[in-house]
Amino acid sequence: MDFWLSYATLASIYVLLGLSTNLLVGIAGIFSVSQAAVFGVGAYIVSYLLMNEVTSFLPAMLVAAVFCVLLNVLVTLPALRVSGDYFVVTSFGIQLLATAIFTNWTFGTGGANGLPGIPPADLFGKTLDSTTQMVELCVGAMILGCLAFWLIMRAPFGRLLRAIREDELAVAAAGKNVLRAKVSAAAMAGAFAGSAGGLYATFLSFIDPSSFDLDASILLLTMVVVGGARTLAGSIIGPFLLLALPQVLSLIDIPTTIAAAARQLIYGVLLIAFMLFRPQGLAGEKL
């Protein structure tokens, strides 16, 4: 397949994930290393529904989005009620548990071997089986996602979230429900991640647990950190840059056995370096 088309499609999907992570980490200020798990849940749900011909593509996407919203609300609500640090534990736990389920629940997820043969997406009765059509679908979804993010951030909800980032106590004193706003942000993040999962599965027609593990979550976090928190530009720049990284690495002669480790090592270095020297990322606001 044409490299640039494939890159544009994947980057579009990861922009949706970047928006999702930005809502949760950048805007609601919740540390999360389980975004890839939610992404995976969306991917597996859509795959299941399409492979078993339960529904067509759009209803499947809707089911995935709703399920991921519920999942995120269920996960964040108890953790936010108690203490922010507990969410770190919840988040690691959800991610490891999800990986265990994706890998070991062979009946539902195909286990470590993954799910091959996921049918292509369809829109209004028309199957999108060419690459160009798929690119158009994903880029279209990205534009819709960016539009939604932009609308959210310029609405009172966005202002409320910015105020919460500054001073939760003062927001409560101004008569606003801080918990509800944060859970709403987490819910939106779930919808974005779930939809991205559905697009990812239908685009690649094959998924396996390695796309949705802890390392993938760290990649998503790195995208937001590099791009910049709380801005639309940041959520777009981060994914486009970091998805190009493996290509750049392939130009350097690194043994394939350590390629994955080298990539993750760079993510780690980027996380530390940006926190130390540029906490606002390339085009964002200060975390």
Partner 1 sequence: MLALQLLCNGLATGCALGVVAVTFSLVYSTTKLFHVAHAGVFTLGGYLAWSMTTRGTPFIVALVVAVAVCAATGALIQAWLYARLERRHATHLVILIASLGTLAVMQNIIAAIYSPNILQFSLSWASEVVAGGGSVRLTVIQVLIVVASLAAYGGLMWFAHRTILGKQMRAVASNPFLAEITRLRPRRVHVYVMAIASAVVSVPGVLVPVDLGLQPYNGVTPLLTATIAMIAGGVGSVTGAFVLAVAIAELQNLSLLVIPGEWSIGITFFIFVIFMLFRPTGLFAAVR
Partner 2 sequence: MSDYLSATGLEVSFGGLRALQDCSFTVERGRITCLVGPNGAGKTTIFNVITGFLRPDAGTVSFQGTPLDGMKPQAIVAAGIARTFQNLRLFVDLTALDNVVVALPSQTGEEPLAAIFRPLHVARAQTRHREEAMQILQHVGLAARAGEFVRNLSYGEQKLLTVARGLATGAELLLLDEPASGLSASALDQIMDLLRRLQTEGKTLLVVEHNTRVVQQIADEVLFLHQGHLMARGTPEQIISDPALAEIYFGGVI
Tell me which residues touch partner 1 (CB under 8 A).
25, 29, 31, 33, 78-79, 81-82, 84-86, 88-90, 92-94, 96-97, 100, 103-104, 214, 218, 221, 225, 257-258, 260-262, 264-265, 267-272, 275-276, 279, 287
* Minimum distance from residue 271 beta carbon to partner 1 (Å): 3
Q: Which is nearer to partner 2, 138 or 187 (CB)?
A: 187
Report what 25 binds from partner 2, partner 1, none; CB cut-off 5-8 Å by kind: partner 1
- Least Å distance between CB 286 and partner 2? 9
Closest alpha carbon to 237 in 197, 268, 270, 283: 283
- CB nearer to partner 1: pick between 2 and 31: 31
169: number of Cβ within 10 Å: 8
- Minimum CB separation of residue 225 from partner 2 in Å reads 19
Retrieve residue 155's tokens: 């609405």
The entry of partner 2, partner 1, none that residue 119 binds, CB within 5 to 8 Å by partner kind: none
Shortest spacing between CB 152 and partner 2, in angstroms: 5
Give the per-residue SS3 of the chain: CCHHHHHHHHHHHHHHHHHHHHHHHHHCCCCCCCHHHHHHHHHHHHHHHHHCCCCCHHHHHHHHHHHHHHHHHHHHHHHHHHCHHHHHHHHHHHHHHHHHHHHHCHHHHCHHHCECCCCCCEECCEECCCHHHHHHHHHHHHHHHHHHHHHHHHCHHHHHHHHHHHCHHHHHHCCCCHHHHHHHHHHHHHHHHHHHHHHHHHHHCCECHHHHCHHHHHHHHHHHHHHCECCHHHHHHHHHHHHHHHHHHHHCCCCHHHHHHHHHHHHHHHHHHHHHHCCCCCCCECC
Question: 89 or 174, CB closer to partner 2?
Answer: 174
Indicate which of partner 1, partner 2, none lies near residue 210 (CB less than 5 to 8 Å, by partner kind): none
Smallest gap from Cβ 7 to partner 1, in A, equals 24
The least distance separating partner 2 from the CB of residue 94, rounded to whole angstroms, comes to 22
Which of partner 1, partner 2, none does residue 1 bind to, with CB < 5 to 8 Å depending on kind? none
Q: By C-beta, is 2 or 167 nearer to partner 2? A: 167
Contact 138, 5 (CB under 8 A): no
Residue 2 partner contact from partner 1, partner 2, none using kind-dependent CB cut-offs of 5 to 8 Å? none
267 binds, among partner 1, partner 2, none (CB under 5 to 8 A by kind): partner 1
CB nearer partner 1, residue 75 or residue 142: 75
Residue 172 binding partner per list partner 2, partner 1, none, with a CB distance cut-off of 5 to 8 Å that depends on partner kind: partner 2
